[in-house]
Amino acid sequence: MAGGSAIRGSRVGAGPMGEAERGEAAPRIWVSFWCSRKHESKPSFASDAAIPEEWDCPRCGLPAGKDKENPPAPPKVEPYKTHLAYVKERRSDVDGAAILDEALSKLRGKVI
């Protein structure tokens, strides 16, 4: 047997927490939000808080709005671009050919 006078199953600060320790809870309101997949979420807000126009759906992560018939559109997902795709956006084919010719002439001019 271990010595000590600790009470089993308890720790410092354990115990029922009631309104006396936390203070009064703010009055709450529940607002329905719908996403484009027709999921409904009902987060609660303090009655005097500003209610956002959009809320992230906890089920699918899409944006949800307060209008059930017209939920926000899902965000447009851009395909992954390679480094070369970004370079081609900034440079024309003519510029690319000129840069390549310059680099090749520098390499060919050096003795390895």
Domain regions of the chain by residue span: 25-65
Residue for token pair 């009064």: 24
3 state DSSP class of 93: helix
Residue for token pair 């992560």: 61
What is the per-residue pLDDT for 66? 95
Span 25-65 CATH architecture: Single Sheet (2.20)
pLDDT along the chain (112 residues), means of 10: 59 60 82 96 94 95 95 91 89 90 88 48
